[in-house]
Structure 1
């Protein structure tokens, strides 16, 4: 199930991730979801790929998720 907007993402992602990270997650998820059309674990693969995409640009700290290039 692709996500049209960030408001469609699961609530925990909306709470945890900053808006830009949500954009990254949603775009990566949607792309992976369509790319893995024949995979029986399509949704699981799409979530893993989306998290990997977020982790390339963001890092989790005690204060929450922050951009890797931020001081």
Structure 2
């Protein structure tokens, strides 16, 4: 289930990430959703959705990190 906009993202993502990071998450999720549609392309027996969320969080973590206040901020 690809996402069309930020409002479609899970509430946990909307509440945790700033808008730019949400855009990264959305784009990475949608790309992974297409890339891993075939079960043979995924490791183990993870679902397409599970893999797509993992890819999306990984993409966010390339440009953002949690600060001491447990808030996601852009990495320098």
Same fold (TM over 0.5): yes
How well do the aligned residues superpose, as a CA RMSD in angstroms?
1.0
Q: Deviations over 1:9-54 (max 9, x none)?
A: 0111111100000000000000000001112611110000000000
- TM-score w.r.t. length of structure 1: 0.92
- TM-score w.r.t. length of structure 2: 0.86
* Whole-Å separation in 1 of the counterparts to 2:73 and 2:18: 8
**1:46 equivalenced with 2:52 (yes/no):** yes
| Paired residues, number | 69
Structure 2 gap segments, 5+ residues each: 40-45
In the alignment, what sits opposite 1:13? 13
